Chains A and B, each alone.
Chain A
Amino acid sequence: MFSLVKSTCLTLLILSGGISGSYADTTFIRMATTTSTENSGLLDYLLPRFESSHPYKVKVISVGTGKALRLLREGDVDVVLVHARAAEEQLVSEGFGVGRRDVMYNDFVIVGPADDPAKLQGTRDASAAMNMIADSHSLFISRGDDSGTHKKELSLWKQAGIQPASDRYREIGQGMGKALQIAAELQAYTLTDRGTWLSYRDKLPLKILAEGDPQLFNPYGIMAANPDKYTDTNHAGAIALIEWITSTPAQHWIATYTIGGQQLFVPMPHGINAQAK
């Protein structure tokens, strides 16, 4: 019966001209990435350069890291560019992701209201900062959307060995920009990636209060869907993109991308996991 349902759906889709063209189409690469990557503007800067030298167009689907990885797991995209190393490596070990490479890194910063009730200003140690936020009973906005940033935030609380009081901790389940807006409205602290922060800082009455801890390091990785599991993905395109983005010229472009004069990403030409694939 399910095959009947499936074939009916497929027929309808083909009749409507929906996916018939884009599936298994080798001129497009479907790439899932995180909202923070998309928000930073880096892809608009990089991808045209890839497209001009390769016979592919990249369709970017920007979602939370959890969803991006799920899209890859289910073969709905050809390649993902995300920042959640443990989850990425799990997909590789389960055989869903192949050819994983490190691409670059940026960092997280802790931002909060300008009057800084928790007195974080100038703190470098992220664990200490989290402790100060919890101890001062300050409001904290959590992404709460299973994104790379959310995962990082949870690991910081764990490292700090403290849980914020539940009435001073708000999970919003949305993107970074929204989290910053809500933090600004409610005069709360939050953890943000520097790229999104730089794009939003002029519009918000918040400031960076803690930065520079190696714990706040945020490496990005890229990997392709396993062509053995999903034969209809554009594997050649995905590999071409992975090769290109880790190549010397692309790594140079990443290093030269700036917002307001500030470099956002540091390339990782000899990534820790460069041996994969």
Chain B
Amino acid sequence: MSQLLDSTREALGLLITGDPALWTIIHISFSVSLRAVLVSAPFAFLIAFALAHGRFRGRRALVSTFNTLLALPAVVVGLTVYMLLSRNGPLGDWKLLFTQTGMVIGQIILCFPLLVAISHSALQTAERRTWETAITLGASPLQAMLTVMYEVRYGLVAALIASFGRVIAEVGASMMIGGNILNYTRNITTAIALETSKGAFAQGIALGIILLLSALLLNFGLGFMQGKGAMR
């Protein structure tokens, strides 16, 4: 029990003193996950819009597919991307294995279905009349789509937050694709896994606190956005 207390005290010390090694790790985590979500978002929103308001064959099958992909395990994504990017793999020439870009690719695959699924259900609540009115008023289809998206903006932000929460807490893909290289691809979750395997718990706890705090903030944000969305 004293070990838990000692490690926690040491962890708080690391956080407060702004231990540079710790903050590098935190920075890598946020930077990689943010990039993954921001790169995916425009495409995911576009697909979600098509699924919500388009009328085409196979639409239902696509919706089911994205819903199934929600359960995609991070380690499976890790393994697949690893094999693709590996020196002997089909994309080996890109030399992206064990780089941050590689991690971003893995996290894009992880957060994409979630972005589509949540923004799809948000866009479904938008009234078709918004679209029709915009078109009648002379808007191009693109402008009309943006108008619809603006109407459900809180839902879309909620989708961003939830996806960010998913990828920043993910360990399997980051570990396998990133390789947990200090100052390059070591992020919060892989660092926790490493520190635990080293038997050095203080840094693990400090990083765990950051992860929990960010999850808490994200969920407050999510709740706020959903509240806003529901109030309208």
Contacts of B181 in A (CB 8 A): 170-172, 182
Contacts of A164 in B (CB 8 A): none
User: What is the size category of the interface that chain A forms with chain B?
Assistant: 20 to 34
Per the bound structure, the CA–CA distance linking A185 and B197 in Å amounts to: 24
User: What is the size category of the interface that chain B forms with chain A?
Assistant: 20 to 34
- Contact present for A170 and B200 (CB under 8 Å): no
Which residues of A (37-92) have their CB < 8 Å from a CB of B? 63-64, 66-67, 69-71, 74
Decide yes or no whether A116 CB sits under 8 A from chain B.
Answer: no
- Contact present for B199 and A5 (CB under 8 Å): no
Contacts of A129 in B (CB 8 A): none
CB-based nearest B residue for A67: B199
Which residues of A (180-234) have their CB < 8 Å from a CB of B? 182, 184-186, 205
Contacts of A174 in B (CB 8 A): 179-180, 194
Contacts of B200 in A (CB 8 A): 66, 146
Per the bound structure, the CA–CA distance linking A52 and B191 in Å amounts to: 40
Decide yes or no whether A178 CB sits under 8 A from chain B.
Answer: yes
- Contact present for B87 and A71 (CB under 8 Å): no
Decide yes or no whether A271 CB sits under 8 A from chain B.
Answer: no
Per the bound structure, the CA–CA distance linking A185 and B96 in Å amounts to: 9
CB-based nearest B residue for A144: B182
Known: A70-B199, A182-B98, A186-B98. A170 touches B184 (CB 8 A): yes
- Contact present for B1 and A66 (CB under 8 Å): no
Contact partner, A185, options B97, B182, B196, B199, Cβ 8 Å = B97
Contacts of A184 in B (CB 8 A): 87
Per the bound structure, the CA–CA distance linking A170 and B97 in Å amounts to: 14
Known: A2-B1, A145-B194, A185-B97. A173 touches B199 (CB 8 A): no
Bitwise interface map of B from 129 to 161 toward A, beta carbon under 8 Å scored 1, else 0: 000000000000000000000000000000000
- Among B182, B190, B191, max chain A CB count under 10 A is at B182
Contacts of A178 in B (CB 8 A): 179
A selection of 29 A-B contacts at a CB cut-off of 8 Å is A2-B1, A64-B198, A66-B198, A66-B199, A66-B200, A67-B198, A70-B199, A71-B199, A144-B182, A145-B197, A145-B198, A146-B198, A146-B199, A146-B200, A170-B182, A171-B181, A171-B182, A171-B183, A172-B179, A172-B181, A172-B182, A173-B182, A173-B186, A173-B190, A173-B191, A182-B181, A184-B87, A185-B87, A186-B98
- Pick the 7 closest A-B CB pairs, nearest first: A70-B199, A171-B182, A173-B194, A67-B199, A146-B198, A170-B181, A66-B198
Q: Contact residues of A with B, CB < 8 Å? A: 2, 5-6, 63-64, 66-67, 69-71, 74, 144-146, 166, 170-174, 178, 182, 184-186, 205
Known A63-B199, A184-B87; 13 more pairs at CB < 8 Å? A63-B197, A64-B198, A67-B196, A69-B199, A145-B198, A172-B179, A173-B182, A173-B186, A173-B198, A174-B179, A178-B179, A185-B86, A205-B87
